[in-house]
Amino acid sequence: MSAPHCELCEAAPLTEWYYSDEECWIAECESCFVPMVVWRHHDPAPDDVTKQRLWARLETVMAERFSFEHYIDDNLRSIPDHYHAHARRRFRF
């Protein structure tokens, strides 16, 4: 299920892609330059089982390709109607 004029549904490869399957894709966010997982369904609220699967795929990419500490941020700020989650750097002071 996709929506016209949704850049996440369009899934244009504008940045580096790390993973893609029929459920999601993971790429560098063009706004904040961290990896993000994008659900291929135009819906802001996956069920908990789906969300855990998406997060697990993002965690796998993070373990395989990145060494920075991170946390998963799924606050839908600039695109509130399509579920996605970022692996944001965790800074220690």
Q: Residue 4 — pLDDT band, cuts 50, 70, 90?
A: confident
Q: What are phi and psi of 2, to 5 degrees?
A: -130, 170
Instruction: Identify the helix (H) or strand (E) that includes residue 10.
Output: helix 7-10
Domains and CATH numbers, the chain: 7-89 (3.30.428.10)
pTM, two decimals, is 0.92
Tell me the per-residue pLDDT of 39-73, one tens digit each, with 9 for 90 and over. 999 999 999 999 999 999 999 999 999 999 999 99
CA distance to 8, 38, 92, per residue, from 24 (Å): 10, 5, 30
Instruction: Identify the helix (H) or strand (E) that includes residue 52.
Output: helix 48-65
Judge whether residue 91 has pLDDT over 90.
Answer: no
